[in-house]
Amino acid sequence: MLNYIFNPKTIAFIGASEEPKTVGSGIALNLLQSKKKIFFVNIKSKKIFKRKTYKSILDIKEKVDLAIIAVPCAVVNKVATECALKKVKGVIVISAGFSENNNKERENELKEILKDIPLVGPNCLGILNTKNNLNASFAPFIPKKGNIAFLSQSGAIIDSVIDIARTENYGFSKIVSFGNEAGLDLSDYLDYLSKDKETKVIAIYIEGIKDGRKFLEVASKVSKIKPIIVLKSGKTELGKSAALTHTGSLAGDSKIYSSVFKQAGVIEVDSIEELLLTAKTFSFNEPCLNGVGIVTNGGGFGVLAVDYFDALKIKVPKLNEGKNPFDVLGDALADRYEIVMEAMLRQKDIHCLLVIQGLQIMTEPEKTARIIVKLQKKYGKPIIASFVGGESFKKAVSIVEKNKIVNITEIKKAVKVIRYLTYEK
Amino acid sequence: MNLLNFKDSQELFKKYNIIIKDTDIFNDKESVLKFAKKIGFPVILKVFSDKIVHKTEKGAVITNINDVNELADVYDSLDKKFKDKEGMMVQKQFDGREVVVGMAHDNTFGPIVMFGLGGIFVEILKDVSFRVCPLNKKDALEMIKEIKSFEVLTNFRGKKKVNLNKLAELLLNLSKLALKEKEVVSIDFNPVFLNEKEINIADFRIIIKKNA
């Protein structure tokens, strides 16, 4: 049912405009970049970007799959009624001025008008599908193709994330700004993405969940198919009467959301940076069992890593041949890394590696990077690289990253990401 | 606020296999003494009333009563002090480690259950865990192990590990109750005593909807 939202053949954009720096022209220009058949609708204009415009969607003779509405909120419902008459197969309402603005009535009316048609929004940025180059939003540009789907309650965060990802080596399959969820809600998108071939991992930013029980049910199912990573802001509310018992008064914070995420098998992170880093890691790697091998050329890095792993209850199993963390020592050339990494990757209770390298006189960063790439391919177990330094490691980092191995300079962050990648049987 | 009375609470719990052992409520001294002899000393005596929310703070709970004479005296003094009551609750003095179990309704997720250790762990440290109903056994065991002070329930200072299965069972039964009994707003079992063999609910409080 969401297929017409992400893969429409024909699109009508109601509220198109030529005026620079407006939502109307932003979306119009974005749409023109796709190879879809686009119809512009504007009650006033005769031509927009040299294309014919229609006064109403009802004046278009062809069938319309997707209608995008970005008109003043007072006329949204009138326009939506015309979309329903036109029998469009999906609607995105960009316009704000609904329940978020205390106008619940207008939102209910919209819901009623489009009750048989999938509805994204209102009050949203729109949707993006990299597969068919569809940018049905006013996000400034379309990101690289990739296997991360991103769902966000905040449009602004989508814009920033797209820009952050520009210089990164991961990409997106679909991006949805879901707004007020008057029609489709978070769980509907999760359900759709669980079956989407382009999507391997789902990242979410939310402030609150509309239908909690539906989310628990759907997310529990989807998380068994694809990893779901969530960044949640804000607190939950509890009925006043419940505060009379301990249970009631203690539940009045974000603990409930965190519990729900655990129960549903959803990974909760606590910053935008972590959300993207974790999504990237899952984009390149499969989840693994608990047990990490650490190789380092500096004792200090190893001790730090063990401290962090220990606090997060990640096992650092003893090596059959040597210690874990294994300190290859400061004079280690790349071949020593290779021997130790191979021994670790062969061991059954080691499911993931953290390979740390600091800069010493003998260090061979690029050679080490190539060994990491080679062994990762050979053994298939996730490897996180941690080249701790700056300029001197630039080449090495670009070698691993090009080969879809995540490099995280800060060991604490690397450990946290490995924790998220780990599941218990 | 609507506190459910003792008899109705006990009826409700029974439907979900939640048994309040060695505990009963009476309105006369003879029955209290008789019941105490039956369950064995030491016992505790509590005034049960929907007017008293904080029983301990109001002096409505006397613990560690060792014989019939002492019990008779305690009965007389409490009976005089608290006129407006449902009855006197006699209960065996349970031992073990104290935990708290409860349920409430969340606006977004509906019925939830809570678990934590008793006393300062719940009051000050707020070291508790939650799950949304329905729970399965895995959820129950996970939420028990999730609290920071979980080790207190294991082989701790010479004490044996408590019976976690009995605790999980209580959480599961409470989850069933929470999903079915729509008029129940929230429940506290506080304290609940756990030892290596059994689980005993020492006190409970059920809040029901105003018009139920």
Query: Is residue A424's pLDDT more than 60?
Result: yes
DSSP string, A357-370: EE--TT--HHHHHH
Kindly give, in sequence order, each residue whose CB lies less than 8 Å from that of residue A213, ignoring residues fewer than 6 positions away.
B109, B110, B132
**How many angstroms separate the CA atoms of B105 and B123, rounded?**
20
**Cβ contact, residue pair A212, B139, below 8 Å:** no
**Maximum alpha-carbon separation in chain A:** 78
Of B48, B9, B7, the closest CA to residue B188 belongs to: B9
Size of interface A-B (CB pairs under 8 A): 98
The Cβ-side half-sphere exposure at A30, using a 13 Å CA radius, reads 29
A361 contacts chain B (CB < 8 A) = no
What is the per-residue pLDDT for A239? 45
More reliable by pLDDT, B55 or A112: A112
Which of chain B's residues have a Cβ under 8 Å away from the Cβ of A246? Answer: 100, 102, 114, 122, 188, 190
More reliable by pLDDT, B195 or B155: B195
Which of chain B's residues have a Cβ under 8 Å away from the Cβ of A208? Answer: 108
Minimum-distance CB partner of A238 among B106, B143, B187: B106
What is the per-residue pLDDT for B53? 65
What is the per-residue pLDDT for B158? 77
Kind and range of the H or E element at A335? helix A334-346
| pLDDT confidence band for B167 (50 / 70 / 90) | very high
Q: Does domain A287-421 have CATH number 3.40.50.261?
A: yes
Q: Which amino acid is at A287?
A: P
Closest-CA distance of chain A to residue B187, Å: 7
First to last CA, chain B: 11
Kindly give, in sequence order, each residue whose CB lies less than 8 Å from that of residue A287, ignoring residues fewer than 6 positions away.
A227, A421, A422, A423
| pLDDT confidence band for B51 (50 / 70 / 90) | confident
**How many angstroms separate the CA atoms of B109 and A359, rounded?**
51
Which of chain B's residues have a Cβ under 8 Å away from the Cβ of A235? Answer: none
Torsion, CA B34, CA B39, CA B43, CA B48, rounded to 10:
-70
Closest-CA distance of chain A to residue B36, Å: 29
Query: Is residue A236's pLDDT more than 70?
Result: no
Closest-CA distance of chain A to residue B121, Å: 12
A143-284 adopts what CATH topology? Answer: Rossmann fold (3.40.50)
Of A70, A71, A73, the closest CA to residue A31 belongs to: A70
What is the per-residue pLDDT for A241? 46
**Cβ contact, residue pair A247, B102, below 8 Å:** yes
Classify burial at A341, counting beta carbons within 10 Å of its beta carbon; exposed 0-12, middle 13-18, buried 19 or more: buried
Of A219, A220, A183, A214, the closest CA to residue A204 belongs to: A219
What is the per-residue pLDDT for B155? 79
Would you kindly state where each structural domain of chain A is located, as residue ranges? 1-120, 143-284, 287-421
Would you kindly state where each structural domain of chain B is located, as residue ranges? 23-92, 97-208
CATH H superfamily, domain B97-208: ATP-grasp fold, B domain (3.30.470.20)
Which positions 198-217 of A are in contact with B (Cβ < 8 Å)?
208-209, 212-213, 216
Of B107, B130, B105, B112, the closest CA to residue B185 belongs to: B105
Which of chain A's residues have a Cβ under 8 Å away from the Cβ of B190? Answer: 246
Where does A1-120 sit in CATH, by number? 3.40.50.720
**How many angstroms separate the CA atoms of A384 and A422, rounded?**
13
pLDDT tens-digit profile of A44-95? Answer: 888 999 999 999 999 999 999 999 999 999 999 999 999 999 999 999 999 9
CA A341 to chain centre: 31
What is the per-residue pLDDT for A403? 96
First to last CA, chain A: 35
Q: Residues A87, A54: contact at Cβ < 8 Å?
A: no
Q: Does domain B23-92 have CATH number 3.30.1490.20?
A: yes
The complex scores an ipTM of: 0.84
- Give the chain B residue whose CA is nearest to the CA of A257: B109
Q: What is the 3-state secondary structure (H, E, C) of A135-152?
A: EEECCCCCCCEEEEEEEE
pLDDT tens-digit profile of B81-128? Answer: 988 888 999 999 998 999 999 999 988 899 999 999 987 777 776 789
| pTM score of the predicted model | 0.91
Minimum-distance CB partner of B112 among A209, A244, A251: A251
Give the mean model confidence (pLDDT) for residues A329-356: 95
The Cβ-side half-sphere exposure at A263, using a 13 Å CA radius, reads 27
More reliable by pLDDT, A239 or A358: A358
**Segments of B27-167 assigned E as strands:** 43-48, 61-65, 87-92, 97-106, 110-117, 128-132
Q: What percent of chain A has pLDDT over 70?
A: 95
| pLDDT confidence band for A160 (50 / 70 / 90) | very high
Of A368, A366, A360, the closest CA to residue A395 belongs to: A366
pLDDT tens-digit profile of A274-293? Answer: 999 999 999 999 999 999 99
Q: Which residues pair with A206 in a beta bridge?
A: A232
- Give the chain A residue whose CA is nearest to the CA of B146: A259
Under DSSP, the state recorded for A65 is S
**How many angstroms separate the CA atoms of B187 and B173, rounded?**
13
Q: What percent of chain A has pLDDT over 90?
A: 88
Give the mean model confidence (pLDDT) for residues B181-197: 92
A186 contacts chain B (CB < 8 A) = no
Which of chain B's residues have a Cβ under 8 Å away from the Cβ of A219? Answer: none
pLDDT tens-digit profile of A169-225? Answer: 999 999 999 999 999 999 999 999 999 999 999 999 998 898 999 999 999 999 999
Q: In the numeric block, which tokens belong to residue A176?
A: 């949805």
Minimum-distance CB partner of A213 among B109, B114, B129: B109
- Give the chain B residue whose CA is nearest to the CA of A213: B109
| pLDDT confidence band for B162 (50 / 70 / 90) | confident
Taken as a whole, chain A contains a residue count of 425
Q: Residues A287, A313: contact at Cβ < 8 Å?
A: no
Closest-CA distance of chain B to residue A286, Å: 24
Give the mean model confidence (pLDDT) for residues A332-353: 95
Q: Which of A183-197, A313-327, B153-167, B185-199 has the lowest mean pLDDT?
A: B153-167
| pLDDT confidence band for B1 (50 / 70 / 90) | low
DSSP string, A196-239: -TT-SEEEEEES--SSHHHHHHHHHHHTTTS-EEEEE-S---B-
Which of chain B's residues have a Cβ under 8 Å away from the Cβ of A244? Answer: 1, 53, 185-186, 207
Minimum-distance CB partner of A236 among B100, B108, B143: B108
**Chain B interface, mutation test: which of A185, A215, A238, A245, most B Cβ atoms within 10 Å?**
A245
**How many angstroms separate the CA atoms of B8 and B5, rounded?**
6
